[in-house]
């Protein structure tokens, strides 16, 4: 399947393209920081040299949360991508949502584009304006100018909340930053069963189906966008930015995805941590001579928890794992569509997490944080 890259250290990415379009190989310590040029005057490239591009951005997924990085969580579709190429284990990220997303979409340091903190935190400091500055071009704007159809689905979190519901303050919404169409949620998180949805520049009600889940809806919408673009012009390349709600809170997935992990996590998080580390050594994600670092002192040893605390902790971990597996299954549907439609060989796929695992559950008293 051509050239594939997998990058990690709180952020995991994969690239897939046909061998004719393969980029030079990257070193394991390469970072994502590079300058972005102004799209003014950009001319469309010949069709044969323009691969389709898909960004799949996970949210708050930890370094070892995928099977290809040592996890016990079932992620066959992402693991299949990893098996087709290289995995990288040193990638720089900002550790919080908005700055990491701004850096990914512009290729520049988040402070230099005005997003030094969450878009919710707005100051008069030039590096912390809570939005991407207009002299900073997004990859969508560059590709749109080069003749690509551009679509965004899922989480945005790059527009100040003060403007989220004002028709006059949509300058930082996806359609104003290079995307032809958008379907998803503008804030940092949303209920996966009853989400706050926006389509293009308009807030809409979520579907009222009893079996509804946002990630499934997003993949349906992404496939529909690609199908329509291909029907209008099969030679026009597309860029799909797919930002999932997983694995950010709230951790919500169909019950069957969660229940299967209850017995898995009954062994306790200390055992899980050790097992992941040993699998990472076997996979080559970490050196064979690596030593497991000291455990987090803010988290109790599993044996120190009472039986009720353990039951709650098991349930929380199962919900998290189930959310990731369910998301992997939906990513699998997107990959299957690309394969069945003959698009995959000419598609560059990037899979990443905006930052590492979220630290909110590090309290010494886990039941106090429910």
Q: Please state which of the ranges 4-8, 59-63, 188-192, 356-360 shows the lowest mean pLDDT.
A: 4-8
Residue 250 preceded by cis peptide, ω within 30 = yes
Handedness of CA 331, 333, 339, 342 (dihedral sign): negative
125-129, 189-193, 332-336: segment of lowest average pLDDT: 125-129
pLDDT greater than 60 at residue 56? yes
Query: Is pLDDT above 70 for 14?
Result: no
Give the residue with greater pLDDT, 22 vs 216.
216
Q: What is the pLDDT of residue 198?
A: 96
pLDDT band at residue 315 using 50, 70 and 90 as cut-offs: very high
Would you say residue 245 lies in a domain?
Answer: yes
- Structural domain boundaries enclosing 218: 3-19+49-253+332-359
- Residue 152: strand pairing partners: 182, 241
pLDDT of residue 162: 67
Whether 15 shows a pLDDT value over 50: the answer reads no
Strand bridging mode 149-155 / 181-185 = parallel
290, pLDDT greater than 60: yes
Average pLDDT over residues 247-276: 97
Give mean pLDDT, residues 96-108: 95
Name the percent of the chain lying above pLDDT 70: 82
pTM: 0.86
- The answer to whether 261 and 322 have CB atoms below 8 angstroms apart is yes
| Cα–Cα distance measured from residue 229 to residue 238, given in angstroms and rounded to the nearest whole number | 8
Catalytic residues: 97, 157
Q: Which residue has the higher pLDDT, 14 or 85?
A: 85
Binned at pLDDT 50, 70 and 90, residue 298 comes out as confident
Residue 262 lies in a domain: no
Q: Considering its fold, how many domains does the chain have in total?
A: 1
C-beta of residue 151 within 8 angstroms of C-beta of residue 226? yes
**Tokens 């009222």 found at:** 208
Residue 324 pLDDT exceeds 60: yes
42 and 292 Cβ atoms separated by less than 8 Å: no
Q: Widest CA span of the chain, in angstroms?
A: 65
Give residue 370's pLDDT.
27
In angstroms, rounded to a whole number, what is the distance separating the alpha carbons of residues 189 and 184? 11
Does the pLDDT value for residue 2 go beyond 60?
no
- Give the separation between CA 76 and CA 59, rounded to whole angstroms: 18
In the predicted model, what is the mean pLDDT of residues 108-128?
92
243 backbone dihedrals φ, ψ, rounded to 5°: -105, 105
Geometric angle at alpha carbon 182, from 178 and 186, rounded to 5°: 100
Residue 269 in any domain: the answer is: no
Does the pLDDT at position 363 exceed 60?
no
Q: Residue 161, Cα to own-chain centre: how many angstroms?
A: 21
CB 353 within 8 A of CB 155: no
Q: Residue 229 maps to which CATH number?
A: 3.40.720.10
Measured CA to CA, the distance from residue 285 to residue 283 in angstroms comes to 6
What length does the chain have? 370
Query: CB count, 10 Å around CB of 289?
Result: 6
What's the pLDDT band for 93 if we cut at 50, 70, 90?
confident
Q: Can you tell me the distance from the alpha carbon of 110 to that of 116, in angstroms, rounded to the nearest whole number?
A: 5
Confirm whether 148 is domain-assigned: yes
Q: Is the dihedral of CA 152, 53, 100, 175 positive or negative?
A: negative
pLDDT score, position 321:
98
Is 298 a member of any domain? no
Query: pLDDT at position 260, please?
Result: 97
- What are the contacts of 96-99 at 24+ separation with CB within 8 A? 96/355, 97/59, 97/60, 97/155, 97/157, 97/188, 97/248, 97/354, 97/355, 98/130, 98/157, 98/158, 98/188
pLDDT at 42: 56
pLDDT of residue 180: 98
Percentage with pLDDT > 90 across the chain: 71
The rounded mean pLDDT for the chain is 85
Asked if the model's pLDDT at residue 308 lies above 90, the reply is: yes
343-365: average pLDDT: 79
Q: What confidence tens digit (pLDDT) does each residue in 162-191 have?
A: 655 555 679 999 999 999 999 999 999 999
Q: How far lies 289's CA from each of 10, 126, 132, 284, 292, in Å?
A: 21, 45, 42, 11, 10
Q: 138 or 88, which is more confident?
A: 138
Residue range 75-99: average pLDDT? 87
Neighbouring CB atoms inside 10 A of 103's CB total: 23
In this model, does residue 8 exceed pLDDT 80?
no
């Amino acid at each position: 399947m051509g050239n594939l890259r997998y990058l990690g250290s709180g952020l995991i990415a994969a690239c897939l393209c046909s061998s004719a379009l393969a980029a030079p190989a990257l070193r394991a310590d390469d970072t994502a920081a590079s300058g972005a040029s102004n799209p003014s005057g950009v001319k469309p490239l010949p069709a044969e040299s323009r691969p389709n591009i898909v960004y799949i951005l996970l949210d708050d997924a930890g370094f070892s949360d995928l099977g290809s990085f040592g996890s016990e969580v079932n992620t066959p579709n992402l693991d299949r991508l990893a098996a087709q190429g290289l995995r990288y284990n040193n990638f720089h990220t900002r550790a919080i949502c908005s700055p990491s997303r701004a850096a990914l979409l512009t290729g520049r340091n988040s402070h230099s584009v005005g997003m030094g903190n969450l878009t919710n935190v707005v100051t008069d400091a030039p590096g912390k304006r809570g939005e991407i500055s207009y002299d900073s071009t997004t990859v969508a704007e560059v590709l749109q100018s080069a003749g690509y159809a551009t679509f965004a689905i899922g989480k945005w979190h790059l527009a100040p909340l003060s403007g989220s519901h004002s028709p006059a303050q949509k300058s930082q919404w996806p359609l104003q930053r290079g995307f032809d169409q958008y379907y998803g949620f503008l804030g940092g998180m949303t209920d996966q069963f009853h989400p706050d949805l926006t389509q293009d520049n308009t807030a809409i009600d979520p579907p009222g189906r009893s079996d509804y889940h946002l990630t499934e809806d997003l993949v349906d919408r992404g496939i529909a966008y690609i199908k329509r673009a291909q029907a209008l012009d099969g030679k026009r390349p597309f860029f799909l930015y797919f930002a999932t709600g997983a694995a950010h809170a709230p951790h919500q997935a169909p019950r069957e995805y969660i229940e299967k992990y209850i017995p898995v996590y009954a062994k306790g998080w200390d055992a899980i941590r050790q097992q992941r580390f040993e699998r990472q050594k076997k996979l080559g994600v970490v050196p064979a001579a690596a030593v497991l670092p000291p455990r987090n002192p803010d988290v109790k040893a599993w044996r120190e928890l009472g039986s009720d605390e353990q039951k709650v902790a098991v349930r929380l971990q199962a919900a998290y794992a189930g959310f990731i597996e369910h998301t992997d299954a939906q990513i699998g549907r997107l990959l299957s569509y690309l394969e069945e439609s003959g698009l995959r060989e000419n598609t560059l796929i990037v899979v990443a997490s905006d930052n590492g695992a979220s630290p909110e559950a590090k309290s010494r008293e886990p039941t106090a944080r429910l």
